[in-house]
Amino acid sequence: NAGVTQTPKFQVLKTGQSMTLQCAQDMNHNSMYWYRQDPGMGLRLIYYSASEGTTDKGEVPNGYNVSRLNKREFSLRLESAAPSQTSVYFCASSSRLAGLTDTQYFGPGTRLTVL
Amino acid sequence: KQEVTQIPAALSVPEGENLVLNCSFTDSAIYNLQWFRQDPGKGLTSLLLIQSSQREQTSGRLNASLDKSSGRSTLYIAASQPGDSATYLCAVKDSNYQLIWGAGTKLIIKP
């Protein structure tokens, strides 16, 4: 089992460029999440998908869009990148959003720099 | 709004010492509290999950406690080893089923 995979691992963009971060999980989990991690701060939720076919905004959704392509895949799109979006992005999955004993499993992260 | 704080931000101790990491949260209406480990350049790995009705959980040399009424959790690491060096993050599952994260404690164990 690969767990949660993310591509790419590193990316440098210029302001205004667009890109899509890909995430896939092979654990048959229902729920998937996108977080960003900035220095000195906790992880912040960008978007999540409680189940296939649904997506919801998290704490910091502005400037991002998501697609739950199928049960395995959840992508994050930056339509017009800004320097404030320089961050490390993590995808995670869990069996159920409301599962009180369910933990989240994380991918290795994408380090994004916007110049 | 739920806020999670971890103090200290960094900690350096000699190998073999027992140590305690602290996590505090402002709203006691949580479903659970989780401790994660993050190694440099890698994702996060779950260490322990304590449900709101529980007081503690143990896994090997790790013991996590939860005092919901005071808004505190501790992660106790016994007989620390250099391999324990990492950043430790705590997170609470709030009333919306979302994880709210602390900024982490960077732990260095000196050989």
Over the stretch A17-66, which tens digit does the pLDDT of each residue have?
A: 999 999 999 999 999 999 999 998 899 999 999 999 999 999 999 999 99
Closest residue in A to B90 (Cα) is A42
Residues of chain B with Cβ-Cβ distance to A109 below 8 Å are 41-43
Would the CB atoms of B101 and A42 count as touching at under 8 Å? yes
B100: nearest Cα among A84, A83, A104, A66: A104
> How far, in Å, CA of A72 to CA of B32, rounded?
26
CB-nearest to A90 from B41, B43, B52 is B43
Q: Which residues of B touch A100 (CB under 8 A)?
A: 31-32, 51-52, 93
pLDDT digits (tens, 9 = 90+) for A66-93: 999 899 999 999 999 999 999 999 999 9
pLDDT surpasses 80 at A1: no
In chain B, which residues have their Cβ closer than 8 Å to the Cβ of A103? 34, 46, 49
For B89, name the nearest residue in chain A, comparing CA atoms only.
A42
What is residue A50's three-state secondary structure? coil
Residue (of A81, A87, A105, A77) closest to A5 by Cα position: A105
pLDDT in tens, B19-76: 999 999 999 999 999 999 999 888 999 999 999 999 999 999 999 999 999 999 999 9
Q: Amino acid identity of A6?
A: Q
Q: How long a stretch of residues is chain B?
A: 111
